[in-house]
Amino acid sequence: MKTMILYASTYGFTRDCAQKLKQNLNGETILIDINKDPIPALDNFDTVLIGGSIYIGQIQKKIKKYCLSHLDELKNKKLGFFISCGSAETVDTYFKNSFPEILLEKALSIQNFGGEMRPDQMNFFHKFISNMVDKSADKQAAPPMKPLPENIIQMSNVMNNLS
């Protein structure tokens, strides 16, 4: 099994998750940051895992664009999709908004890796919004945002059991 993990991460939480995913996978795996690394041709891989983080309901645009522009090639791969986000309740909607339906239907694993705020690294705008989100979550007694490392293990188990 040769795997590419392609991800976008604004403040590093999704990067950390993608690194853990790589550590847990059997076989050769390369990790590609869509914002920094050259993206290799897909014919080098039989398994492709793609993910990013949710900001104001949306995944990073580059991830969305990549899936749409490589739709036909991706359809023929073993696929997994992941997101990082704060709200467990709206995860299904986030997946539907982030990835083409036809690819989600084909995916062998779809996982929410949870989320983490890193305010020390945030720009002013993001810090402002995250304060508002915190206050509104307090009012609605929403469950707190937290990492879900068990879902990283779940995805790696599914992929490892294929080979």
Ligand X SMILES: Cc1cc2nc3c(=O)[nH]c(=O)nc-3n(C[C@H](O)[C@H](O)[C@H](O)COP(=O)(O)O)c2cc1C
Residues that bind ligand X (CB under 6 A): 9-14, 53-57, 84-87, 115-118, 122, 126, 129-130
Lookup: tokens for 40: 């290799």
When the beta carbons of 103 and 115 are compared against ligand X, the nearer one is: 115
When the beta carbons of 53 and 98 are compared against ligand X, the nearer one is: 53
Minimum CB distance to ligand X, residue 98 (Å):
11
How far apart (Å, rounded) are the C-alpha atoms in residues 15 and 7? Answer: 7
Minimum CB distance to ligand X, residue 30 (Å):
19
Q: What is the CA radius of gyration of the chain?
A: 16
Minimum CB distance to ligand X, residue 39 (Å):
18
φ/ψ (deg, to 5) at 4: -115, 130
Contacts of 21 (CB under 8 A, 6+ apart): 5, 49, 82, 152, 155, 156
When the beta carbons of 89 and 105 are compared against ligand X, the nearer one is: 89
How far apart (Å, rounded) are the C-alpha atoms in residues 8 and 15? Answer: 7
Minimum CB distance to ligand X, residue 52 (Å):
7
When the beta carbons of 5 and 78 are compared against ligand X, the nearer one is: 5
